[in-house]
Structure 1
Amino acid sequence: MVGKKSGKALLREEGLERTDNNLDLTTWPQVNMINQKNYYTEFLKRDDQFLAYRTQAEEARNRMVREARDKDRALAQGVHTEGTTDVADEGAVDETTVAIGSKEAYASKLIILHVGSQNLRIGLGTDALPKSVPMVIARKWKENESEEDGGEPRPKRQKVDGVIPADAYPEKWFGDDFANQYQTMCSELRTRMRTNKRRVLPNSKELVINYNRRTPPEIISEHNDSNRIEWTEIPTNPKDAPDFLTGQAALRIPEESNPRYKLFWPIQHGTFNEKDYFDRNQLYHDISKIFEEAFRTQLGITKPKDLANFNCVFIIPDLYERIYVTIMLDILIRDLGLGKVCLQQESLSATFGAGYSSSCIVDIGAQKTSICCVDEGLCIEESRINLKMGGADVTETFIKMMLFDHFPYADMNLKRRYDFLLAEELKQNFCSMDESSVTVQTLDFYLRASGQDTRKYFFKTYDETMLSPMGFFKPAIFDHSYKLERRRKVIPRSVDLYDGAPNDPLSNAQLMVIESAAGKSPSVNGTQESSNSLAVNSTPSRSQQYSLLSRLNDVEVTPRSSVAGSPGPEGTPNPDQDTPAGGDTGGSLTFRDPVLEKTKQAEERDKTLPIMSIDQAILESLSQGARGDDRKLRDFFGGIMLIGGGSKTPGLATFLENRLRELRPFYGKEILVGPPPRELDPQVLVWKGGSVFGKLSSSGNDSWISRAEYDMLGNRLLVNKCMFAW
């Protein structure tokens, strides 16, 4: 019988005995387990751990050192040159001089950019007013814009029995819908004028039509025209012709040029133009070229490398699209090479320019109208509204009404460059919202086209000059058929980095506008007429739970319990999914995907054009901006400011003020609609506010994005750099 072996013998025989010298297997330090009961970390808990804040602190420290060095140098020079002068007094004078000089030097290196759908406002911080440059680029093309689509004119003439009616029947050019709306607006205006004791002639329309129909133009030879236009000269050799032209030179290219040029407007309705572009890189390149040429021609910056020494304040819409902001920032910093860029919202810049602390800003641009309440230096998020209509719609409607009434220049086509400029001139000279101007007037204009003799036309107008800007209050008269073409076909919408859900900002006021445009009966006037609304799917806020205008209209505002059940957590079965009678589910359940639901809601919103009468939109914005505070609502009613090129229509502010008083008679004394103070041009007020904001001291302005920071973190910096919630 074999005896039992000891443990050591087994280890030795089996080869399991340890034979090393107790040395560690590696020199890598071993980390002990964390005590889960009490441990502490400072990761991302101090400002100096963020690159944005750390860079700002370093710049402030370097600036203090530089200013101290400059002060010492100034004191030393003062003592050396003025031996008997008091050192303290001389130092104080030199310090003030150095400070003023440094501010002027800083402002001379500051660029303010305000991009619009039709014009670009650009200037330096030392400029009192900006330069206006058409936001357009002309490129070599096989045909110009007026020759596309078979030469179809704009406004579009509708065909009857396959052909466009002759010049003798212009009332059939735009269809029965436009004719009925136009006649209805004419009748309403006559009724309103009779109510206001205005004289109305019964045969005014017949006088206008008969005069326009039989009045031929006068021909003026070119050498007798003192105000002839200098057209852009194109070299006779097509190979020597430039590849592109920008600004005013692009609008003055002759239509029959060789080679042909086509105009491209990269910004449309306040965002990127996806209707005329099929390549996003071409769109970005055109914007970059327009900026670069504006820097060279308007600011005198001829060398691109010099832009690294300039800072730029870029003004963005209040209700912006994230992809628009990030792409513009990338163009300014990486493509153009600017040193620093700061983002500022339009309405906030308007209050900076006007010197107001609280106001309701109504910005009527060429192709969009934005409304926003600003309170104590911040845009109230839920009050932001972006309407896709503006002064360009007024221009087109004015021309349609004039053609309807037998305008003598029946061949007007807004796709032609000289006709487009002529239409803008006619609108600015003759359109008015003042009822006293609604009389039969005899007017004239000059038609100047390249290679043709100047023609002087005489025509009469009656109510067309007032009914066309009346479209702001009756937007159905505008043509909206093309405004959603190719939407999201070239540039996709912005999505969240983590879950892929759409993350563009959206306000309660904008949701009400979309619901109204979609015919879902929103609470535009304060009364909720339908429970089926897109606002139910948005994040609830205090402004949704309590509406001031609802209280004004004696509507019960006490929150009630919802009839529908609360939604279950993610991954739970859908309670609305019914099981077929007698059917077997087989254990399969329908799950809700919150990202998919948000995407579907965003797609549904994109199918609806946000359009609403401007007076109703202002009331909706005010109700969301006041948040149930009656005192704040009265302050906003007394601080409505009209800005933008569309606001320069004579009588618009008075007409809007009367409409608001009719809708809210209890606030008749508080309602005040006015232009910018100190006789500032409403077109440049936003740019002026951006200039004021950009010249603030860097210690109080931490929103500058430098090239080094952007190269390291990209647009993730915007979370820490924007003064608004990104």
Structure 2
Amino acid sequence: MPPTPSKRLYTQSTSESVTEPIQVNTVVIIHPGSLNLRIGRASDTFPITIPHCIARKKKNTSSSDYKSSWMIRSESMYGEMKQQQKLALKLAEDTMASKPMSSGEYRQSIAPKLYHAFNSAVKCVKTDVICSKKWTSTDNQAPYIIGDEALYCHPRSGYILHWPIRRGHLNLHDGPGGSMSSVLADLEVIWGQAIEQFLDIPLKDLKIYRAILLIPDVYEHKHVKELMCLLLDRLGFGSAIVHQESVCASFGTGVSSACVVDIGDQKTSICCVEDGISLKNTRITMEYGGCDVSRCLHTLMGRAGFIPRDLDLSNTVDCLLLQEIKETCCHLDQDSYGVIEQTIQIKKPEQNILKYPLKFGDEFHIAAFSVFFPDIYGLQGTHLVHVQKRFSGDPEDPHDEFYLRQTQSQQQSSKPSKKKETSLADISTRDETSLSMFEDSQLMAAQMDEDSTDGQDVLSTTDNVKIPRRTELEEEQEQEAEEVTQLMGIDQAILYSIDKCASDELKKKMYSCIVVVGGGMNFEGAQQWLQYRVWVGMPAQYRLMLETMDVITRPKETDPQLTSWKGATILACLDTTHELWIKKKEWDQFNVRMLRERAPFVW
């Protein structure tokens, strides 16, 4: 019997696999985020980090500007705090007051009215110091500007700022620059310029380089396909790998199994990783992150009597300043309480620095604590929570998951109604036919077996040929996951994700090691609060089973924002990585089918 197309693909690809050692200085690792792009060679100690945006010269000066806002969200309720937010705020304050300090005493809540009048009467102090930041010069009328210079283009310069990735996904929208082709064009320019400018690699030489692209845990199949086309076809890399952020984070932390919590600027992802495999049913992504903490701080400062007229959330430069205030002042230190004096500095490009001597109570603590009570953000909408959905199919991959499921169903429906009439010869013939239909998916089947919920074989070759139990469990769990439409706090999402694990032993393993990466929760005291909240919320029987419970917020004492990128450098050095590279000529010939064959996760 001649091999199926996919079988020929797998045979040809593996026979051409690279056997010689890979030079890590020829591997470029790309970790694109909603706010920052981290890029560098696998041999580098640290990546280059630049804002993941591009400012393009406005072509038609008469048309209205399109603003891709950073912190302002259409799902949020503005103006006076709504009832839902007030209740969440009161609950957060009560929770903070219920946890004892290290001395055993309980902290007392500080009413904003104690310092509201003082802050309302404060006048700014204009210093003689000029802010070192300068507006980007646009005299040469360049067609585009990337990186930090793009953020500091003057609002009247005629440039429009675009963010190609929002909330962890490609920023597709109805406005100018929101089509798939426009977003990919922005990414091509940003990544290409970063490679040439910061890595000193001419784009014409990329054919001898390899790329590792980090993608979100909950990903869009079509988006991953387009990004692979961008790497191999448009930028011209010789070969590439895509891998999930959570698995790379576990590599970077040095643990084989953990519940990985990734809190970025605009999204929060939780996923359980076991032996380098991201468990599909445990993945959940919620659309809030560090920028929402900053927006919450802006609101709380107003409640304290400081109306920050100099901090306009529609202005990118002001958002950067608010981000700096958050990173400097916010904390989760339970022992720090009471009225404190804090000087807020307003730094605008090429202007005198302004100072506001103010008084605050729990505002900085509550803002950081809001990740446990996301109702404070006032976000509404069923689209704010995402789980991994099945691949909807691709016309370029005829032997995809739908084909496999359909052939399974046909095998089940065509079997004889009476088992006594089925001879051993019939069984043997049918098994051979079934196996030949699935030969083109051997690699995927092996991966699915690793990620399965009950460890059973993907295909049963007994007399009772049927759809695997794993598929039925997956469907049931996916239906349950789709019912999750409300945002959850970090601790609740961790409990939800771990509860989706298949066995008590696996749940125990996940509870014993929780890894927090990303910059959205990089606050003092975060480790103690997260450990406390998860411990209180977990089922009682697991508290008795656990010997230790490690919550790692600074893996290997490094910046948690770099953990996933560092993990990808480890991936580039592994011997097993040889089998994962997708070459350009293979992609040109087989396209998305290569992802089903080579992706290190169930495609």
TM-score by length of 2: 0.77
Residue 210 of structure 1 aligns with which residue? 117
Q: 2:574 aligns with which of 654, 676, 696?
A: 696
- The answer (yes or no) to whether the contact 1:155–1:414 under 8 Å persists in 2 is no
Change (3 A) 1:666 1:608: closer
| Cα-to-partner distance string for 1:268-301 (whole Å, 9 max, x where unaligned) | 1111112454422211111111111111222112
Q: 1:656 aligns with which of 514, 517, 530?
A: 530
In the alignment, residue 414 of structure 1 is paired with which amino acid? L
- Structure 1 residue 279 corresponds to structure 2 residue 279: no
| Cα-to-partner distance string for 1:359-387 (whole Å, 9 max, x where unaligned) | 11111111111111111221222222212
Unaligned runs of 5+ in 1: 1-40, 64-101, 165-171, 488-492, 505-540, 546-568, 570-597
- Structure 1 residue 351 corresponds to structure 2 residue 250: yes
Structure 2 CA distance for aligned equivalents of residues 661 and 183 of structure 1:
22
Change (3 A) 1:199 1:470: closer
Q: 1:678 aligns with which of 552, 556, 559?
A: 556
Deviation at 1:693, TM superposition (A): 0.5
- The answer (yes or no) to whether the contact 2:76–2:379 under 8 Å persists in 1 is no
- The answer (yes or no) to whether the contact 2:571–2:577 under 8 Å persists in 1 is no
- Structure 1 residue 43 corresponds to structure 2 residue 3: yes
Residue 565 of structure 2 aligns with which residue? 687
Structure 2 CA distance for aligned equivalents of residues 378 and 273 of structure 1:
28
Q: 2:31 aligns with which of 79, 92, 114?
A: 114
Q: How does 1:598-617 map to 2 (within 5 A)?
A: 611-617=487-493
Deviation at 1:658, TM superposition (A): 0.7
Structure 1 CA distance for aligned equivalents of residues 269 and 76 of structure 2:
32
Residue 8 of structure 1 aligns with which residue? none
- The answer (yes or no) to whether the contact 1:347–1:374 under 8 Å persists in 2 is yes
Q: How does 1:547-696 map to 2 (within 5 A)?
A: 611-625=487-501, 627-628=502-503, 630-664=504-538, 665-668=540-543, 669-696=547-574
- The answer (yes or no) to whether the contact 1:52–1:709 under 8 Å persists in 2 is no
Structure 2 CA distance for aligned equivalents of residues 265 and 214 of structure 1:
38
- The answer (yes or no) to whether the contact 2:579–2:598 under 8 Å persists in 1 is yes
Residue 443 of structure 1 aligns with which residue? 342
- The answer (yes or no) to whether the contact 2:34–2:265 under 8 Å persists in 1 is yes
Residue 42 of structure 2 aligns with which residue? 125
Deviation at 1:57, TM superposition (A): 2.6
Change (3 A) 1:208 1:364: same
- The answer (yes or no) to whether the contact 1:387–1:610 under 8 Å persists in 2 is no
- The answer (yes or no) to whether the contact 1:158–1:174 under 8 Å persists in 2 is no
Deviation at 1:700, TM superposition (A): 5.1
Between the two structures, name the one with larger relative contact order (CA 8 Å, sep ≥ 6): 2
- Structure 1 residue 268 corresponds to structure 2 residue 175: no
Q: 1:712 aligns with which of 571, 581, 589?
A: 589
Q: How does 1:151-230 map to 2 (within 5 A)?
A: 154=72, 173-192=80-99, 197-200=105-108, 204-221=111-128, 224-225=129-130, 228-230=132-134
In the alignment, residue 200 of structure 1 is paired with which amino acid? Q
Q: Which moved more, 1:190-199 or 1:49-58?
A: 190-199
- The answer (yes or no) to whether the contact 1:430–1:465 under 8 Å persists in 2 is yes
Change (3 A) 1:53 1:122: farther
Structure 2 CA distance for aligned equivalents of residues 187 and 724 of structure 1:
42
* Segments of 4+ moved more than 6 angstroms: 142-149, 155-159
Structure 2 CA distance for aligned equivalents of residues 217 and 144 of structure 1:
38
- The answer (yes or no) to whether the contact 1:362–1:641 under 8 Å persists in 2 is yes
Residue 266 of structure 2 aligns with which residue? 367
Change (3 A) 1:213 1:676: closer
Change (3 A) 1:634 1:428: same
- Structure 1 residue 298 corresponds to structure 2 residue 198: yes
- Structure 1 residue 495 corresponds to structure 2 residue 371: no
Task: Decide which structure has the larger Cα Rg and report it.
Answer: 1
Residue 442 of structure 2 aligns with which residue? none
- The answer (yes or no) to whether the contact 2:135–2:350 under 8 Å persists in 1 is no
In the alignment, residue 195 of structure 2 is paired with which amino acid? F
Deviation at 1:706, TM superposition (A): 0.8
Unaligned runs of 5+ in 2: 403-450, 456-466, 468-474
Q: Which moved more, 1:193-202 or 1:310-319?
A: 193-202
Q: How does 1:62-73 map to 2 (within 5 A)?
A: 63=20
Structure 2 CA distance for aligned equivalents of residues 59 and 667 of structure 1:
45
Secondary structure of the residue that 2:262 maps to in structure 1? strand
- Same amino acid, percent of matched pairs: 27
- The answer (yes or no) to whether the contact 1:193–1:199 under 8 Å persists in 2 is yes
Query: How well do the aligned residues superpose, as a CA RMSD in angstroms?
Result: 3.8
- The answer (yes or no) to whether the contact 1:661–1:667 under 8 Å persists in 2 is no
Q: How does 1:19-58 map to 2 (within 5 A)?
A: 41-44=1-4, 50-58=8-16
In the alignment, residue 230 of structure 1 is paired with which amino acid? K
- The answer (yes or no) to whether the contact 1:395–1:423 under 8 Å persists in 2 is yes
Structure 1 CA distance for aligned equivalents of residues 305 and 281 of structure 2:
46
Deviation at 1:156, TM superposition (A): 8.8
TM-score by length of 1: 0.65
Change (3 A) 1:614 1:143: farther
- Structure 1 residue 252 corresponds to structure 2 residue 152: yes
Residue 311 of structure 2 aligns with which residue? 412
